[in-house]
Structure 1
Amino acid sequence: MTSEGPGQVLFGFVRHWARRSGSADAGGEQGRIVLACEAVDALRQRQAPVTVNAVACEIGIDQSGASRLIKSATAAGHLAMTVSATDGRRREASLTPAGRSMLDQARHWQEDVFAQLTTDWSDTERRTFQRAMTDLMDRSRTMNL
């Protein structure tokens, strides 16, 4: 049992997983491309504009860093940039078929890792953990954290 409070455990959890990578290059270029594609997909799922600034906010980096990530993912064939349907002055990112395939593979890997980490958990424990994490993420968005 730890003497840390739940807030400390939460932020320790975030720091721990932020340092982990699913790619063979240990957080290198492929890991950054996955991060960019995950951000684009998350924004699309929430029906939010997928601009460079929105991707920057989603990932928690500055606009220039997000711009470089998007350019790398576009050059690799995983993202496409198009003129916004609602504002012709704005460009938005979207996943290409190759990006969707790569993201599907990354998510499959994530599910495999979770299954391995929770091998002795019940299905109820897994669902409870998933629901709690989802609630925390949703609440952090409403609090602009």
Structure 2
Amino acid sequence: MLVCEAVHALDLRATPATVNSIAHEIGIDQSGASRLIKSAAAAGYLVMAASPADGRRREASLTPAGRSMLDQAHHWQEDIFAELTTGWSDKKRRDFQQAMTDLMERSYAMDACATPTPR
């Protein structure tokens, strides 16, 4: 699930879902991400293919089964959010969702501006 969510998030930002970008997205090392990708591919949720931009690089994409699983997970998350916010006005729910979206977008923007620290 985690790796599929990462591939989806990268796709939404038009960022190639390479092993390195997936590892960065979920905050683990490349070898851990590689194992998760292999497991998700073996389960039929992801496929790895040569990058259209650079045939030497491989990128992950969701399969129809992966998209279906992710859609079901998002539906479940929305149901839980609705339960957690029972009694909230529609405006309060929208404001909270917008604030969280703004935080995530700011986080991505900060990450894109960050420069690697030399070792």
- Is the aligned partner of 1:122 residue 2:89? yes
Q: Kindly indicate whether residue 17 of structure 2 is the aligned counterpart of residue 50 of structure 1.
A: yes
Unaligned runs of 5+ in 2: 115-119
Alignment partners' CA distance in 2, 1:42 and 1:124: 26
- Name stretches of at least 5 consecutive residues in structure 1 with no aligned partner: 1-33
Q: Name the residue aligned to 1:96.
A: 63
Matched position secondary structure for 1:92: strand
Q: Distance in 1 between matches of 2:58 and 2:17?
A: 8
One-letter amino acid of the structure 2 residue matched with residue 60 of structure 1 = G
Corresponding residue number in structure 1 for 2:80? 113
46-55 vs 135-144, which deviates more?
135-144
Separation of aligned partners in 2, 1:61 and 1:126 = 32
Please state whether the residue corresponding to 2:49 is helix, strand or coil: strand
- Tell me the distance in 2 between the aligned counterparts of 1:125 and 1:61: 34
**2:40 equivalent among 73, 95, 98:** 73
The aligned runs of 1:27-42 (5 Å cut-off) are 34-42=1-9
1:19 counterpart residue number = none
What's the TM-score, normalizing by structure 1? 0.75
CA–CA distance in structure 2, aligned partners of residues 126 and 85 of structure 1: 40
Cα-Cα RMSD: 1.0
Higher relative CO (Cα under 8 Å, sequence separation at least 6) belongs to 2
Identity score, percent: 72
Alpha-carbon distance between aligned partners in 2 of 1:45 and 1:143, rounded to the nearest angstrom: 17
Structure 1 runs (4+) greater than 2 angstroms displaced? none
* Per-residue deviation, residues 85-140 of structure 1 (Å, max 9, x unmatched): 00011000000010011001100100000000001111100100011011111111
CA distance in 1, matches of 2:105, 2:13: 11
What is the deviation of 1:141?
1.4
TM-score w.r.t. the length of structure 2 is: 0.91
